[in-house]
Structure 1
Amino acid sequence: MPVAESDGAQPGAARPPSVVSGPPLADEPGLGALTLPGFLREVTAAYGEREALVMHTGEGVTRWTYAELWERAIEVAQALRACGVGKDSRVGVLMTNRPEWIAAAFGASLTGAVVVTLSTFSTPSELDHLLRVSGVSVLLFERSVLKTDFAAVLTELEPEIGKAAPGALQSARFPFLRRLVSVGDAAPGPGTDTWDGFLARGLDQPRELVEATAASVRPSDTAVLFFSSGSTSRPKGILSAHRGVAVQLWRCRRMYGFRPEDEVRCWTANGFFWSGNFAMALGATFSSGGAIVLQPTFAPVEALELMQAERVNFLYAWPHQWAQLEGAPNWSSVDLSSMRFVDHNSLIARHPTVSARWFEPNHAYGNTETFTLATCFPANTPPEVHGGSSGEALPGVTVRIVDPLTGAVVPRGERGEICVKGPTLMLGYLGTPLDETLDAEGFLRTGDGGHLDDTGRLFWEGRLTDIIKTGGANVSPLEVDEALAACPGVKVTQTVGVPHETLGEIVVACVVPHEGAALEAEAVRAFLRERLASYKVPRRVLFFREDEIELTGSAKIKSGELRQLAARRLAPPVG
């Protein structure tokens, strides 16, 4: 439990400060090796012949055991060594969820390199930015992802790629980039190695050197460079140490309560280039000896068929994907009786073949800067314990709430900005000095609003910039959206504040209905009046088609653009 100062104050006395710390990291159970190579080595030793991953394609089914995953990672490491990759080199991985992504990420870590995860949702201008700031020397990429030909995109960004022999690129635009390697069925493209050709380059690299290099990696070394998926600005590059990443890989097993005998089979179609999916899907599954059922790009009909065929019992999905699964034509005909680790409040749990009663560890708070979890209650925590909160401080973590303007710690129970520090906190933002990132005491000021209660539980209330100030009251759009999500017929929702002459802002709910749903604004407001205080009930409810609301690559709604769209809808007609 977190160490919270006792609130022994008499009525009228000053309340204790909003600071709480979890137990020491050394006391956390279930942690293993604190490097990525060490993590993979330990799970391979424990679960060697168990299935680690499976992927269905038009050509057949790929299945790897943990022992085979280790061998594939060794092969990638040998090939990277042959390409000159060593300690602190940066290796870019631009792929959907496929076996080669996992082999590439762990293989790069075996060489001591930094794994740079790149989103396959990147536009050409975004990819240009990511490659320029990340300084990758080798880019392992999937040529064709949906309608995007990344070989063509890369050649358009840097025409020299089309003129160079594989491994001989000299680019003024990407001065560190030397080699491109393509994976997938499509031809590799100009200046690019095939995956098999790349692996063949490492055949003469001594295995013992690879394993010795992997053993020399230290928990304090830089492990990964992930990019934030912010909805208002260019993604920030976030550097994390091996210790921070490995702690979360092991920790997620404990938070989900998984055991080897549970034989976890996890489906996910969300990219491993997001820290949450890497830690919570891959980490929780691998650390408990389970198997990942890979789907490179999300397609609801295919996803349901995979869940049935592979007897999936654990899902890691986003809210918009739940809705699409329920709307798929095969929803009512598939057998999902294998599901065990699906939250009781999720759409999947309401499927007629699902009988599991389980509550996921969704009372939690974290971000890419903390490589996911900073506060959390484990799965199946009773409501009287979590109290609807965002969790308690995890081992080694300290949370405090400060005044956003002055930085002073506020009294317990008072709202302010969430600040965190701990063993999984990032090494820093790419290109930004650490003293411009952390405060004088080493805390990250997250820009998120919230408060700590008297027991030390954190309550997250959303981005400070998103808090709606209406008629002198503060309204959290998150709270409104959580209530709206339970409204029948609502598929996607985002609540925003729209400027108002007398109230400052008014609360406006922007809703995408399910196909065929006959929603009316007043009916939605009536639904919310039974669940929210009157000042939190949206004054206006606007309905949108799904293609009218722009999402980031990680399915976050671009709130600034939606706010402008809502304001235009509400503006009186000109003339």
Structure 2
Amino acid sequence: MADLPLSIAELPFSVPDRIDQLLSRAAAAHPGRRAVVADTLELDYAALDTRVTSVAAALQGLTGAGEVVAVASVLHPDFAVAYYAVARAGRTAAVVNPLLREEDLLHVLSLSGATVAVVDAALEERLAHVRDRLPALRTVLRIGALPEGDGAPADPATGPGDTAVLQFTSGTTGRPKAVRLSHRNVVVNAAQITDAHRLDGDTVALNHLPTYHPMHLNSAIAAGATQVLCAAPEPYAALMTANRHGATILYSLPVRLARLAADPDLDSISVRTLRRIASGGSGLPVAAARRLSKRFSLPVFQGYGLAETSPLTHSDDPERPVHGSVGKPVAGTECRIVDIDSRAVLPAGSVGEVQLRGPQVMQGYLGGPDGTGLEPDGWLSTGDAGRIDEDGRLFLVDRLKDVFKCDNFLVAPSDVERVLLRRPGVRDAVVVELPDAEHGAVAGALVVLEDPSTLRDVIAAVNDELPYYQHIRDAVTLDAIPRSGNGKVQRRLLAQQLTSRQPV
């Protein structure tokens, strides 16, 4: 890959050669500053760096050069310790979602070839059910009781171009793939995020996510910021934690923020130190962003990225966001829209597939040489449909695999969902593609209603607002929409659920 673009070189700091050097640099500059804060454990930068060194020495005794250590991304300071210790030991970290069930856990551990797994108690129990089908896995270590070695680890023979992390795709359209990210991919993206989110040593970042994503870990460490972990899922718990620890930025999921915005008691709570709220993982409804921004008098902004891009490629302006947009590309990153069929580059305002290129784009998928999954000139086809406005902001439309054609008109399920979610009494909704002999495909809906008996009236009112090819032809009510830990839905499975029940 080419040298870093000039715009990357102009970022707030130069990037180190390895991921763990983000931490050692911060520890040298701010040893007494709080690094990671949780309910039962707090580590300053010096203590975190010391623990990483000790655990790295232990890992070198348990593994050989080139081996993979799976690390469950639980919301606990020991994830940070284990993650950086793997890099300092010269091994590769496979970041594992701790919410996975047995068969998915078996898949990602088999795919990665992990010889050591660092897990919490709950995941260890699930792992025990498939352990006999993982012959490569020799050792299981417990979060909260990581082994420590004597002295410093041997200097690893790894550098910027070596694979540092295996990040797994979400698996919403098939079994997860393992993405190979180099040290350079990850440290560059940490610098890009630090710049885009305006992070610095005065930042206190509140992590209100179900898992500990390396994006938030690396960017906060790169900035010398303090991270506060809130494991409680309730939005109010996050706001109380923010007030208690003086958080300046809140990172949360769209599904949690939307639930907070819709809460009738929202006016009863205030925030004292928060300066902005950041949403990611999927789209945040515009109405929810506006409601929170107005209520708390602070900006609510979104970003965009993929496992294949380390992950962030876009961020809206954290001071002046445009709701509904994921913003402009971060430093050194290119984005374009191409026609779904011809692959020709499209002008501003046109809807097509989003393609990305930049220094944070993956080496390739595990199992293939560098460049596997990329175009020959380095462009990554994301599988997302979107458009870029005249100012360079990206607006996502849908996953390409979710977009379908009705009478040759392109239908994006999210467009129909937006109209559905505006209706009074609609708490949640997902629109899916249903095969249709006459039209090719039509829209179906799964809807959560305050009063399920109003389903027919709601669908009729929504269809009145839509062109005929976007009309909802079948619908059912549910008590809740099944979602993954990061708020995503599997439309194909939901479509099967809909077709197995009676239409409206």
The letter for the 2-side match of 1:560 is: R
Q: Contact (CA 8 Å) 1:450, 1:462: kept in 2 or not?
A: yes
Aligned to 1:68: 47
Q: How many residues align?
A: 494
Is the Cα–Cα contact under 8 Å of residues 525 and 537 in structure 1 kept in the other structure? no
Distance 1:336 1:486, change over 3 A: farther
Which residues of 2 match residues 327-338 of structure 1 at below 5 A? 335-338=270-273
2:27 pairs with one of 44, 57, 77: 44
Does structure 2 retain, via aligned residues, the 8 Å contact 1:32–1:42? no
In structure 2, do the counterparts of structure 1 residues 518 and 338 end up closer, same or farther at CA, with 3 Å as the change threshold? Answer: farther
The residue number in structure 1 matching 2:282 is none
- Give the AA of the match of 1:237: A
The equivalent position to 2:130 in structure 1, one of 149, 157, 169, is 157
The correspondence for 1:419, drawn from 347, 355, 361, is 355
1:270 to 205, 210, 220: 210
Separation in structure 2 between the aligned mates of residue 352 and residue 453 of structure 1, nearest angstrom: 23
Cα 1:300–1:419 shift into 2, 3 Å: closer
Q: Measure how far apart 1:413 and its partner are.
A: 4.9
The equivalent of 2:60 in structure 1 is 81
**Which amino acid is the alignment partner of residue 271 of structure 2?**
L
Structure 2 unaligned regions, length at least 5 = 280-285
Shift of residue 106, structure 1, vs aligned partner? 0.8
Match of 1:567 in 2: 499
Which range is displaced more, 97-106 or 290-299?
Answer: 290-299
What do residues 142-188 of structure 1 show as CA deviations (whole Å, max 9, x unaligned)? 122xxxxx4443333235xxxxxxxxxxxxx434322221235xxxx
3-state DSSP class of the match of 1:466? coil
Q: Which residue of 2 aligns with 1:9?
A: none
CA–CA separation in structure 1 for the residues paired with 2:461 and 2:278: 27
Q: Which moved more, 1:346-355 or 1:92-101?
A: 346-355
Partner of 1:180: 140
Q: Is the 8 Å Cα contact of residues 452 and 459 (structure 1) preserved in structure 2?
A: yes
Evaluate the alpha carbon distance shift between residue 521 and residue 65 of structure 1 in structure 2; reply closer, same or farther with a 3 A threshold: farther
CA contact (8 A) 1:98 1:294 kept: yes
Unaligned runs of 5+ residues in structure 1 are 1-21, 145-149, 160-172, 185-194
Q: What's the CA shift string for 1:234-254, capped at 9, x where partnerless? A: 111111011111122222122
Deviation at 1:227, TM superposition (A): 0.6
Q: What is the match of residue 331 of structure 2?
A: 395
1:300 and 1:568 mapped to 2: Cα distance?
34
Deviations 1:315-346 (A, max 9, x none): 22222223455688996765533332126967
| CA distance in 1 between partners of 2:238 and 2:388 (Å) | 39
1:142 aligns with 2:120: yes
Is it true that 1:237 corresponds to 2:181 in the alignment?
no
Work out the CA distance in 2 between the residues paired with 1:107 and 1:94: 14
Distance between the aligned counterparts of 1:321 and 1:389, measured in 2? Answer: 19
Deviation of the 1:103 alpha carbon = 0.6
Give the 3-state SS of the residue equivalent to 2:252 in structure 1: coil
Q: Kindly provide the amino acid, as one letter, of the partner of residue 308 in structure 2.
A: E
Distance 1:407 1:353, change over 3 A: closer
- TM-score in terms of structure 1 length: 0.75
Q: Distance in 2 between matches of 1:306 and 1:519?
A: 39
CA drift of 1:138 comes to 1.5
Deviation at 1:306?
3.0
What SS does the aligned partner of 2:75 have? coil
Deviations 1:168-221 (A, max 9, x none): xxxxx434322221235xxxxxxxxxx25x22xx12xx32x55x44xx642212
Change beyond 3 A, Cα 1:521–1:28: farther
Cα 1:332/1:369, change in 2 over 3 Å: same
Instruction: Give SS of 2:497's match.
Output: helix
In 2: Cα distance, 1:140 partner to 1:291 partner: 24
1:115 aligns to what SS in structure 2? strand
SS of match in other structure, 1:342: strand
Partners in 2 of 1:392 and 1:473 — Cα distance?
Answer: 28
Partner of 2:308: 369
Structure 1 Cα separation of the partners of residues 345 and 277 of structure 2:
38
TM-aligned CA distance change 1:525 to 1:376, over 3 Å: farther
Structure 1 letter corresponding to 2:386: G
Residues 311, 336 of structure 1: 8 Å contact kept:
no
Moved more, 64-73 or 483-492: 483-492
Structure with more relative contact order (C-alpha pairs < 8 Å, separation 6 or more): 1
Contact 2:293/2:300 (<8 A) preserved: no
SS of the residue corresponding to residue 379 of structure 1 reads: coil
CA distance in 2, matches of 1:536, 1:429: 36
1:139, 1:181 within 8 Å by CA — same for their partners in 2? Answer: yes
Determine the C-alpha separation between the residues in 1 that align with 2:350 and 2:233: 41
1:33 corresponds to: 15
The answer as to 2:322 corresponding to 1:322 is no
8 Å CA contact 2:209–2:231 kept in 1: the answer is yes
- Counterpart contact for 2:445–2:475, Cα < 8 Å: yes
**Are the aligned partners of 2:363 and 2:371 in contact in 1 as well (CA < 8 Å)?**
no
What's the offset of the Cα at 1:406? 4.7
Q: 1:99 to 1:420 in 2, by over 3 A?
A: same
Indicate yes or no: 2:200 matched with 1:259. yes
Alpha-carbon distance change, 489 to 32 in structure 1, aligned in 2, over 3 angstroms: farther
Q: CA RMSD in A?
A: 3.5
Corresponding residue of 1:97:
75
Q: Structure 2 CA distance, aligned partners of 1:83 and 1:382?
A: 47
**2:319 paired residue among 377, 380, 388:** 380
TM-superposed CA distance for 1:228, in Å, is 0.8
Q: Give the letter for the 1:379 counterpart.
A: P
Could you say if the C-alpha distance between residues 435 and 109 of structure 1 is closer, same or farther in structure 2, counting changes exceeding 3 Å? closer
Residue 496 (structure 1) shift: 1.7
Paired position in structure 2 for 1:54: 37
| Equivalent residue number for residue 450 of structure 1 | 386
Letter in 2 for 1:33: V
Determine what percentage of the aligned residue pairs are the same residue.
28
Work out the CA distance in 2 between the residues paired with 1:120 and 1:382. Answer: 32
Distance of 2:30 and 2:463 partners within structure 1: 49
Aligned mates of 1:371, 1:124 — CA distance in 2: 26
The answer to whether the 8 A contact 2:442-2:471 is kept is: no
CA contact (8 A) 2:299 2:321 kept: no
Give 1:559 shift: 0.5
1:226 shift after superposition: 0.9
SS of 1:316's equivalent in the other structure is strand
Match of 2:488 among 543, 546, 556: 556
Bigger radius of gyration among the two: 1
Q: How many Å separate the matches in 2 of 1:449 and 1:351?
A: 27
TM-aligned CA deviation for residue 42 of structure 1: 2.3
Cα separation, 1, equivalents of 2:321 and 2:205? 25
State the shift of 1:99 in Å: 0.9
